[in-house]
Amino acid sequence: MAERYSSFVPGGTGWLLQRVTAAFLVVVLAFHFFQLHFVNHAAEVTFAGTQARMDNLGYFLTMVLFLIAGAFHGINGVYNALVNQGLSGTPKKVVLAVLTLAGIALVVQGTWVALVMAGMI
């Protein structure tokens, strides 16, 4: 029988955060689709409407948390998938550094856009 291997330590912080962000993303993605495809149809989504939604602090914080959770979940998932495929040694460290920098850049840029859209900058 094949042995199960995972780079996640069951019960570890990475394992827990992957599951917590997954649950959060499912809920917020449903809200996001409902808001932007049923309440406001895609053809009705405008720059001004986005600014108006981002003026609401609850919406703003939800979208920033959505960005952070999505970036972490995706990058952590890709990294662990590569580790599960046998990535090790120096290439593992390089991939971790590149993914970490890409994640930080994504969150900084996304947060900057959210702040501009909310009129905070």
What is the end-to-end Cα distance of the chain in Å, rounded?
58
Residue scoring higher pLDDT (61 or 14): 61
Q: Scan for tokens 């995972």, then name that residue.
A: 6
- Percent of the chain exceeding pLDDT 70 equals 94
Residue 5 lies in a domain: no
d(CA 27, CA 78): 21
Report the predicted TM-score, pTM, of the whole model to 2 decimal places. Answer: 0.87
Given a cut of 70, whether residue 120 has pLDDT beyond it is yes
Residue 51 Cα distances to 19, 54, 97, angstroms: 31, 5, 34
Residue-range definition of the domain harbouring residue 17: 13-117
Residue 38 lies in a domain: yes
Q: List, for residues 70-83, the tens digit of each pLDDT value.
A: 999 999 999 999 99
The pLDDT of residue 41 is: 79
Given a cut of 70, whether residue 3 has pLDDT beyond it is no
Number of domains in the chain: 1
Domain containing residue 88: CATH number: 1.20.1300
